[in-house]
Structure formats: C-alpha cells, structure tokens
Amino acid sequence: MLRTLHVRRLGRVEYEDGLAAQKMLVEARAAGRVPDTLLLLEHPRVITLGRGAKETNLLLPREQLQAKGYEVYETDRGGDVTYHGPGQIVGYPILDLKPDRKDVRKYVASVEEVMIRVAASYGIRSERVQGRVGIWTPAGKLGAIGVHISRWITSHGFAFNVRTDLNDFAAIVPCGISGASVASLESLCGVAPPMAEVEQRFAVAAASVWESEAFEVPHELRTISVVIRRDDGRVLLMKRKTERGGFWQILTGRIEPGESPLQTAAREIHEETGFSPRLEEVRELNYVHSFALGNGFAQETAFTVTVQGEPRLSDEHDEHRWCTVEEALELLPFAGLKRAVKLAG
C-alpha cells in the first residue's frame, strides 16, 4: 500500500518550538487531519536528555553549558544525551504505525535505513552496530536516533551530521557511549554538500523506505518580527488585548502578497506603533525561523530598529512598556521572540 508522506523543510526551528510542532502534528495525525509527515530542520545549539539519560554524561554543569551557549532540555524520547546544532539535519517523522507497522524495533531500523541510504548516496558506507542505536562509520557516529511512540504514532527521530561543528560534542558523552567519536559528511567527504540537497535526499529515501509518495508542503504563512529599541537599549513590549491572547510581545505581522519582509516590517512599525523609520534604518537580524501556527507553519524574519519618543498603539494592544533585555526575556512567551531580542542586543 502506497502511503502519502508530507515533507516540510522548515529551516531553523527553536527546540521549544520543535516540541510544540510535534505535539500539534501528533494530535492531528491521531485525528486523521494530516497524513504521515516528516519535518526536516535545524536547531540552534541544544543538548537534550532522553528518558534513559544520566546526568554524568553532561561533562559540564548546566549553568556552564548555558553560559557557553547551549540550551539544555529533558525530553520524553528514548536514548541518552545528544547534541543538536547548526549544520545538522534533524528529522522528526510523525507516522501512524497502525495497522501494519506496529513493531518498535522495525521502526527504529527503518529510521536507520533512511540515514544509511542518504550516506550511501554520497559514497559513505555506514552501518548499524550491535547494541547501539544510530548509524556508524569507522570515523565515528554519523547519525543518532531517539524516538517516542504513543498510540503507535511516532515523534522525535534522528539527527544527521552534515557540516556540524564536531567540537560541540565535547560538552557531552554522545549517547552515553564513552570513547565513541562522531563524524559528519563534511569530515568524511572533505566538503559539505548543500543542506537543501541533503534534505532532498532524505525526502527521497524516506519515501522509499516507508513505501510512501512524498509531497513537499510549503509554509502556510510568512511573518516578520521587529525588536524596537531606544538609544538606552530598552526594548518595546506591547500587550495584546485579552481577546487577542493577552500576552506580551515585540512587534509581529503578516507578510502580505507582493511585499518583501522589509516592506512588511516598515509598514507594521507604522501601523502598530506610529513610528515611521526610513527603510535603511530597519536592520535585518539574519534570523529566519519556523514555528507551528494553528494546523500549519509560519516562517518569520526578524528585524530591529532604534526609535525615539513613545508609541501610538493600534487596536491590537492595550498596554506597552520599555524593558531591559532581561525583563523582556522574562515576559515574552515564545522562543523565537526571545531569540530576536537577544540578537538585537
């Protein structure tokens, strides 16, 4: 039976947003609202601990890890400690294994097979190792696996090193295996292929292994966020009206047809705050990320601008305040908005 497999190539996703996206899709898959889905993405530097993780496999105290730029999360996936970061393709298959694929070992082996085929397409021989999960080369582990299955619907998945900074693994005992080294396509091939090319090969391999017809699904929405700052470094936060959620946020808005992200940012700044900066004063933060929104996904581009004076709020917000970066990070509810504020400095 040929199944349908939706493939979503999301680019950068905050780890917290990745967890929320999986939860949304697992519920939608259980209700039959979406077919099997494969998310392909990159996370910022993050260390995750599976259900079987030992704290001793963190080689630095959590406070030091966070000071060095690692986020640390405990998760409900299987496995021990692993690392995600830029240059690594993370795959989250959301598959319904009912009625004929209800075998955990076979499912894990199928995920390994997907990675083995992608590695082979670059001339790299990788294999399974008895008693270890993932795929291995003589130079080290190329791909890690940690899955969660509930009601026979899968989540979490695999991490495949393409151009990952392998030095980042020095903060942990990868997968809890002392003395095991790690490898990447770049370290094995001498040059890293484009991430988009590797993602496409994952889509092809996944469709073949899981006997599916793959369809790439684009983002349903494109948005912007703007960190509005004063000369003293304080950041403008606005509180949405209760009927609109009642939470604090930086400026956000939807990109309309025919607009560039920069044009949207300038328009939204004026409409929502009354400020009218010149286009050249609105600076892109080189931060584009994706997150789940409703039953779909949005891709957001972040900007910053420095202004003088007080805002004139639209009917979307009923309160504002100028916050230090630390105060803003405490009040903001969403990981992407927090990251934008940190990048704006």
302 to 38, 166, 260, 265, 278: CA distances (angstroms): 26, 28, 13, 9, 17
Q: Is 189 a catalytic residue?
A: no
Q: Which two tokens stand for residue 163?
A: 């151009």
- Structural domain for 293, as ranges: 221-344
Share of the chain above pLDDT 70, in %: 99
Q: Are residues 96 and 163 in the same domain?
A: yes
Domain finish residue from 183, 216, 249: 216
Query: pLDDT at position 338, please?
Result: 98
Q: Active-site residue among 116, 175, 206, 235?
A: 175
Q: Are residues 44 and 160 in the same domain?
A: yes
Q: Are residues 176 and 315 in the same domain?
A: no
Domain finish residue from 216, 247, 267: 216
Domain finish residue from 180, 195, 216: 216
Give yes or no for residue 57 having a pLDDT over 90.
no
* Mean pLDDT on 148-165: 97
Give yes or no for residue 213 having a pLDDT over 70.
yes
pLDDT single digits (tens) 257-290 = 999 999 999 999 999 999 999 999 999 999 999 9
Give yes or no for residue 175 having a pLDDT over 70.
no
Q: Are residues 211 and 260 in the same domain?
A: no
- Report how many domains make up the chain: 2
Give yes or no for residue 80 having a pLDDT over 90.
no
Q: pTM for the whole thing?
A: 0.95
Q: Are residues 209 and 234 in the same domain?
A: no
Query: pLDDT at position 180, please?
Result: 77
Q: Where are the beta strands (DSSP E) in the chain?
A: 3-12, 36-42, 46-49, 71-74, 81-84, 88-94, 127-129, 132-137, 140-150, 153-161, 212-216, 221-229, 235-240, 248-249, 251-254, 283-293, 296-306, 317-323
User: For the domain that residue 115 is a member of, what is the CATH number?
Assistant: 3.30.930.10
Q: Are residues 185 and 261 in the same domain?
A: no
Lowest mean pLDDT among 18-27, 69-78, 264-273, 327-336: 69-78
Q: Are residues 31 and 99 in the same domain?
A: yes
Name the phi and psi angles at 340, rounded to 5: -60, -45
Question: Across all residues in the chain, what is the average pLDDT?
Answer: 95
Q: Are residues 167 and 268 in the same domain?
A: no
Q: Supply the DSSP string of 146-199, one letter for each residue.
A: EEEEETTEEEEEEEEESS--GGGGGGB-GGG-TT--B--HHHHHSSPPPHHHHH
